[in-house]
Amino acid sequence: MTTAKKRANGEGSLRKRPDGRWKGRYTAGRDPVTGKAIYKNVLAKTQKECKEKLERAIEENGKVDVSRSGKYTVAEWVRLWFETYSKPSIREQTAYYYNNYIEKTSSQVSVTSNWTN
């Protein structure tokens, strides 16, 4: 009988769901109010694909400071979203258009507007 290899701390976990798909789960951070862990999931058809998605998700998660989520201004959050999530997966011309739109609208919004206000 073979046992599954243990994944190292910070690598998340992989398991096969009853519907045949693979689920990867990782800790995205901690809730600053309650101190509880914030978990995120990725799904894929194959174990290899799930492992790749999980590694990408963990890498992207490191770019966003979850503990500051309530302290970002709207303009800061939109710029962070654009650079982290949108820009890597869109065409150059679309990125140029989005960036111009963000800069134009950010200058019209109060710089101190927080999500929690």
- Give the pLDDT of residue 58: 84
Q: Which of 106, 35, 50 is nearest to 75 (CA)?
A: 106
Name the residue type at position 99.
N
- Give the pLDDT of residue 27: 85
User: pLDDT 10s digit of each residue in the chain, 117 long?
Assistant: 556 666 656 678 899 999 999 999 988 877 767 778 888 899 999 999 999 998 888 888 776 665 566 677 778 878 887 887 778 778 999 989 998 998 888 776 654 445 454
**How many Å apart are CA 55 and CA 59, to the nearest integer?**
6
Report strand pairing: 37-44 vs 22-30.
antiparallel
